[in-house]
Amino acid sequence: MREWKDKFEATCKENNWLPDYSSEERSSIDPDEDLRQRIFLSKQDVLEAQAANPDANFSIMTPFSALTRDEFTTKVLNKYVRPNTTRKATPTATTATPKRSLRQQDAYTFNSMQDMIDSLMKSLQQQMGGSWTIGTVKPATDQATNEADTSVSKQWHWTIPATTPTSAPTPVTAAPIPVTQAPTTAAPRTYPPPTPAPTPAPTPAPTPAPTPAPTPTTRAPVVEPVTRQPAKPVQTEKGTLKTANSVDWSASKCMSPVQSQGQCGSCWAFASIAAVEALQCIKGGQQGINKYSEQQLVGCDTKNMGCGGGAPVYAFEYIQQNGLCSENAYPYTSSNGGGASCSASCSKSQTGITGYEHLDEGNEAGLIEALKSQPVVVAVASGNAAWKQYTGGVMSSCETTNLDHAVLVVGYDDSTFKVRNSWGENWGEAGYVRMARSSSGSGTCGMLTDMSRPKM
């Protein structure tokens, strides 16, 4: 725990990723003991994520280990909004409460108390074998007070069958009205297949000693992450790392350092700004990058919802119509999650973008082709243990499917995509995550579901 605090406590305080012990209801809690319990829960998340992702590394040494899974979802995620919707993304979906209905009486629904009484009386009348009726509704008068008694029990007139009971009648109890909800089926965990026992190789027959040959160059052993590394890429003249089957824009001059969105749900702004910055730099010959303001989108883009979430394509529309201020002129101030008003004091400049393009859902080949010319914004399902505790390697599985986070794909190779996040450089591989290419229609963590890029 001490090691975690030394590395992450300052960052977590700055981004409000720690529990608030100043409130009255939490004032009696021992912070160290509470943190110890939280770290223990995160260890369970590590085990869960590792079982489903054998080629990735997970650890409690991430900025989010002091948060429970629910707090992680509330403070960091669920702020990506798909285009053509005005809903504000929230941690959990709210469903309409189902109407109550009598057992085996699906035709009846209760829109009011009177409806329920009428249906209940009809059911009881059938079950009792006799009859009872409601007489003319005339309030009974209490002679002592001359006040009308309008209680339901005094307005009901019962008629019991003309039989002499031999014992006290058994009271009829109405069947309870069940309220059922569709069961929630958790996404199945996937575990790596057991490693078969190695088969010993047959002993070869003795052969004459070969003529000594030049000593071949050997590769250094792979250390963490435990993944098969692609062939060493070649540096091109323009600075982008490429091989015949790979691209990595993060190694070029067209990618700014990874930033942190903090507790503000502004992932959409960070991904959109980084995409525009990179495209402008690439079109300009990769001579350098103009760093633009994420805060301007958070405070001024009225089609999106600031820290409450947004859609990257709406951000592209805003940038095309309004231009952008520099980061120095309009710095990011929303890391604590607070809203910010729009400032008109900075000088905006046009970025040169002329619109945006949506890539076809599930089209991995289309994403590969687009990445050859520029980074691409995608949405992912990140509200899970894998994203919470990731420290390196290749992520291949997510337990959730809800798209709740916008990120920027900056490269690919034969087996993976390289993705830029906005949770700071202390997360993942210096702020990046490698995700397995997948034959699934939606891709790893749903990344092939909603893909877009600016055009210039």
Query: What is the per-residue DSSP string for 56-95?
Result: EEE-S-STTTTS-HHHHHHHH-S-B--SS--PPP-SS---
Collapsing DSSP to helix, strand or coil, 235 comes out as: strand
Q: Per the residue annotation, which of 254, 281, 421, 445 is the catalytic one?
A: 421
**C-alpha distances in Å from residue 254, one per residue of 92, 105, 288:** 37, 66, 6
pLDDT at position 225 is: 41
Q: Is 421 a catalytic residue?
A: yes
pLDDT at position 119 is: 54
pLDDT at position 78 is: 53
pLDDT at position 270 is: 98
Rounded CA separation 82/175 (Å): 44
Task: Output Rg (C-alpha) for the chain, integer angstroms.
Answer: 32
**C-alpha distances in Å from residue 265, one per residue of 13, 142, 184, 334, 439:** 17, 64, 27, 9, 30
Let me know: does 248 contact 419? Beta carbons within 8 Å. Answer: no
Domains and CATH numbers, the chain: 69-86+227-455 (3.90.70.10)
Give the predicted TM-score (pTM) of the model.
0.66
Q: Is 267 a catalytic residue?
A: yes
pLDDT at position 27 is: 66
Question: What are the DSSP calls for 146-190, one per residue?
Answer: TEEE--GGGTEEEE--S---SSPPPPP-PPP-----PPP-PPPP-
Residue carrying structure tokens 């990179």: 278
pLDDT at position 323 is: 97
Rounded CA separation 30/26 (Å): 9
Let me know: does 41 contact 68? Beta carbons within 8 Å. Answer: yes
pLDDT averaged over 10-residue windows placed end to end, the chain, 456 residues: 86 80 70 89 95 97 91 73 54 38 40 52 53 45 43 40 44 45 44 45 47 45 41 42 81 96 94 98 94 97 93 98 97 86 91 96 96 98 96 95 96 98 97 92 95 98
Q: Per the residue annotation, which of 254, 267, 281, 398 is the catalytic one?
A: 267
Q: Per the residue annotation, which of 300, 384, 405, 445 is the catalytic one?
A: 405
pLDDT at position 439 is: 72
